C-alpha cells in the first residue's frame, strides 16, 4: 500500500487528533485543513486547501483507511481513521506512526520526547520495541534508515509511501541547524552592508 504525501499528512493529522484531542474527533474537512497546515509539529509545513484535503480523504476512503461519520443534528460529514481495525494498531503503534507521518524520519529518542500528548512511553527502549514490531510485520509499516555521518542514532521512517530514497529524506537536525546558521550570517552581512550604504548616503546631505 503506497499513499500520496497528501494522504499521509491527512492520515497523520487524524491519528494525532484522535489521540491528543478526542473531543474534536472525528473531524470535518475544515478541521483537517487546519490540522494539516499547523506551523508546529509538522515537517514540512503545508498550505493545503479544502480540495486537497477532500481528494486525500477520498483516496484514503477507497483504501479503507478512513471512514465517514454522520452525527445527529449536524449536516457536516466527519472523518475518522480506521488504522486500529484495518491494520490492527493499538495506541502506542498509532502514536509512533502518527509522528512519523507528520514529522518524517526520527530517532526513537525523538519519538519518545514528542509523543507525550499521544502516548506516554516509559523509556526509549519501549519506543524501539514498537518500531521493531512495526518493521517485523508481514507487510512492514516502518523501517530503520542507515545512520548518517555524524549521527549517533539511526532514524526510522514509515513505509506508507514506500522506502524513502536518500535524496528524499529531509535534512538531519544537525544539517538543518548548520544551514540556518549560514543563512543568518549571510543576512547579518547583508544588513551590515545596507547600513554602511545608508550611512554613506546620509553623509552626502550633512
- pLDDT top residue among 5 and 189: 5
Helix then strand then coil, % of the chain, to nearest 5: 55, 10, 40
Question: What distances in angstroms separate CA 88 from CA 38, 84, 85, 104, 199, one per listed residue?
Answer: 28, 5, 5, 22, 67
What pTM was computed for the model? 0.78
**pLDDT tens-digit series, residues 188-199:** 766 776 777 767
User: What mean pLDDT do residues 8-30 have?
Assistant: 97
**pLDDT tens-digit series, residues 70-105:** 865 667 899 999 999 999 999 999 999 999 999 999
CATH T-level assignment (fold) for domain 5-168: Arc Repressor Mutant, subunit A (1.10.10)
All structural domains of the chain with their residue ranges:
5-168, 171-206
Query: What do you get for the CA distance between the two ends of the chain, in Å?
Result: 72
- Distance from C-alpha of 57 to C-alpha of 9, rounded to nearest angstrom: 10
Amino acid at each position: 500500500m503506497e499513499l500520496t504525501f497528501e494522504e499521509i499528512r491527512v492520515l497523520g493529522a487524524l491519528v494525532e487528533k484522535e489521540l491528543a484531542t478526542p473531543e474534536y474527533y472525528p473531524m470535518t474537512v475544515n478541521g483537517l485543513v487546519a490540522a494539516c497546515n499547523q506551523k508546529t509539529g509538522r515537517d514540512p509545513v503545508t498550505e493545503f486547501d479544502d480540495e486537497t484535503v477532500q481528494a486525500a480523504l477520498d483516496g484514503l476512503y477507497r483504501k479503507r483507511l478512513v471512514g465517514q461519520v454522520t452525527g445527529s443534528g449536524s449536516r457536516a460529514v466527519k472523518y475518522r481513521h480506521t488504522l486500529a481495525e484495518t491494520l490492527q494498531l493499538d495506541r502506542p503503534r498509532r502514536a509512533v506512526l502518527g509522528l512519523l507521518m507528520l514529522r518524517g524520519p526520527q530517532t526513537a529518542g525523538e519519538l519518545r520526547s514528542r509523543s507525550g500528548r499521544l502516548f506516554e512511553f516509559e523509556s526509549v527502549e519501549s519506543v524501539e520495541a514498537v518500531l521493531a514490531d512495526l518493521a517485523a510485520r508481514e507487510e512492514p509499516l516502518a523501517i530503520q534508515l542507515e545512520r548518517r555521518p555524524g549521527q549517533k542514532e539511526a532514524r526510522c521512517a514509515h513505509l506508507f509511501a514506500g522506502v524513502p530514497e536518500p535524496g528524499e529524506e529531509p535534512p538531519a537536525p544537525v544539517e538543518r541547524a548548520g544551514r540556518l546558521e549560514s543563512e543568518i550570517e549571510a543576512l547579518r552581512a547583508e544588513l551590515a552592508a545596507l547600513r554602511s550604504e545608508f550611512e554613506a548616503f546620509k553623509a552626502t546631505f550633512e
